[in-house]
Structure 1
Amino acid sequence: MPRTIDPSDFKQKDKEVSHQEYARTLPCNKVEISAPLHWLALGLHDFIRLPLISAFYGLCFMAAAVGIVLLIQWQGTHLVVMPALVVYMLIGPFLALGLYDAAWQRERGKESSLLHSMKAITRNSTSQWMFAVALAVAMIFWMRIAALLHALYPSVQGAPLTDFLPFLVIGSLIGFIIASVIFSISAFSIPLMMERRVDVMTAIFSSFNAVKSNIPAMIVWAAIICGGILIGFATYGIGMLFTMPILGYATWHGYQATIKKKHQP
């Protein structure tokens, strides 16, 4: 005989839904404006203490940078920069995972190994792939906006500077907004997904909230990251051997200092 429906069934269902942990915003700490310099110092310390892992991931980042530079030289145009960066946005987060794992293991007093760091890609891989694809989509969107903005570019050669102002001002403003959003959602998302295995939306919301709550420190941190990447490309990728591993380790320490621990008040 079919069971009679009890109203409490629906109450229990509502209770289950209310306790869903999808798309949360994890609380963050307030950090000093000088905190990124401390993270960088810790990253440098990890770089020195983990030479094999640092060299391996540094070579991977260097190979990606050299590939972009060679592609630009081979094509003879800068139009391939953005497509190359889209690919880089897909590869970069997974390379950084190994650095985060190595710093994490060392922080816990365990021995860091290259093999263990490479296995970090299997921790919460679905959310990590979703995030990498989201970054790639954001870069593609940026490409389309940049293509539309070329309509403002002067069509006459040797045009005065005033004719370039609409293109430069609007392009810089839109580029700054998009870059700020991408930085905000990605600053601490990957290490958060790796350590706590949260869903991609929780990682994005928590990272955005942490950046929004620590704008002065995050401006310094963004400047350090940009400086490290520029050094890498300016040296035809050689600088990536040093800058990217250090920045990767430093990002882990920044995440640990900024996102509150599970039992931290």
Structure 2
Amino acid sequence: MTQHADQTSSTEESDNPLANTGIARVLPAADLAKFDCFKWIALGINDFKNAKVISLTYGIIFALIPLGITYLIRESEFYMVVFPAMICFMLLGPYLAAGLYDVSWQFEKQHKPSLRHSFKAMSRNAVNEWGFGIMLMILMIFWLRVASLIHALNPNYSDTSLASIWPFLLIGTIVGGAFSVFVFVISVFTQPILLERKVDLATAVLSSMNAVWKNKEAMFVWACVILISILLGFFTAFIAFIFIMPVLGYATWHGYIQTIKTKRARKFV
């Protein structure tokens, strides 16, 4: 039976183009059920309840960021950058969530999490963590340039009626959606990998991509949950982010623990 399992695993790896790139090693991923993400959310809610002060602190930070972006947009009266700003917020989310991952990790170790300890989370694998942040920043800048180009191609600057700007909104939505999918694939588990293991950035990114590739349906459901949660946050004037973002951060950590395999079973206690 063991030999059969090894052969099956070997066959899966040979059929997986991500595992044979030669760029970096790829951490193996477990098979997920389609709706496993709801178990992660339940665990995330439990972490929120057990670390209310830390959770609310991070939640307020997550709420203040888009609030600040909106204020700047309103003051400059340049409303066409709302959609790019939303994408930028989604790009920065995985990077800012490192402290939340640390809280869930401390609970699993049966340690008492602290705000100070979570703030130091980025220092464990600093070079690759900052490399990940720079990568997200480059992607954000690239998206802003693409959005500016789309805006420049829109000739009706003075007419802001829906009938006039719908082609611009459609193109922006399609391009932004494709860009968001790409960022999700390369970053869904990258930050937790870098936090728990001292691996290089390429290994973390390829392992995240491999996890999505292997669990397309489960990751699609998880992406939809994230999208709906973010839309809910925007529809509530960012107030819901105070509660949503910490729960999503904790849930992502629990998703990582279930998805990314280790050679030996994790022993947190």
**Which range, TM-score by smaller chain?**
0.7 to 0.9
How far apart, in 2, do the equivalents of 1:104 and 1:158 lie? 48
Note the 1:69-218 alignment, pairs <5 A. 69-81=70-82, 82=84, 86=88, 89-90=91-92, 92-150=93-151, 153=154, 155=156, 167=168, 170-218=171-219
Query: Could you say what secondary structure the match of 2:26 adopts?
Result: coil
Which residue number corresponds to residue 12 of structure 2?
Answer: none
> In the aligned structure 2, how far is the partner of 1:80 from the partner of 1:168?
11
Name the residue aligned to 1:229: 230
Structure 1 unmatched ranges of 5 or more: 1-20
Q: Alignment partner of 2:263: what SS?
A: coil
Distance 1:189 1:160 in 2: 39
Summarize the Cα distance change of 1:101–1:22 in structure 2 as closer, same or farther, 3 Å threshold.
farther
Offset of residue 65 of structure 1: 2.2
RMSD of equivalent CA atoms: 2.8
Kindly state the Cα deviation for residue 28 of structure 1 after the two structures are TM-superposed. 0.4
Residue type of the partner of 1:130? G
TM-score (norm 2): 0.80
Q: Displacement of 1:262 after TM fit?
A: 3.1
TM superposition shift of 1:23: 2.3
Deviation at 1:207, TM superposition (A): 0.4
Equivalent AA in structure 2 for residue 141 of structure 1: F
| Matched residue, 1:260 | 261
Q: 1:237 to 1:228 in 2, by over 3 A?
A: same
Q: Is the 8 A contact 2:189 2:208 kept in 1?
A: yes
Residues 260 and 128 of structure 1: is their aligned pair in 2 closer, same or farther, counting only changes over 3 Å?
Answer: same
The answer to whether the 8 Å contact 1:94/1:121 transfers is: no
Q: Does residue 56 of the first structure (1) align with residue 57 of the second (2)?
A: yes
- Give the % identical residues: 43
Paired AA for residue 66 in structure 1: L
Map Cα deviations across residues 208-231 of structure 1 (whole Å, 9 max, x no partner).
111111111111111111222222
For residues 51 and 264 of structure 2, the distance between their equivalents in structure 1, rounded to whole angstroms, comes to 30
Instruction: Note the alpha carbon deviations across 1:25-66, whole angstroms, 9 max, x for none.
Output: 111011011101111111011111111211111111122122
User: Who wins on radius of gyration, i.e. which is larger?
Assistant: 1
| 8 Å CA contact 2:94, 2:188 repeated in 1 | no
The whole-number CA distance in structure 1 between the counterparts of 2:24 and 2:182 is 18
Distance verdict in 2 for CA 1:123–1:160, change over 3 Å = closer
Aligned amino acid, residue 216 of structure 2? I
Secondary structure of the corresponding residue to residue 123 of structure 1: helix
Give TM-score scaled by structure 1 length: 0.81
**3-state SS, counterpart of residue 124 of structure 1:** helix
Once residues 161 and 80 of structure 2 are traced to their aligned partners in structure 1, the CA distance between those partners, rounded to angstroms, is 22
Q: How does 1:239-258 map to 2 (within 5 A)?
A: 239-258=240-259
Matched positions, count: 242
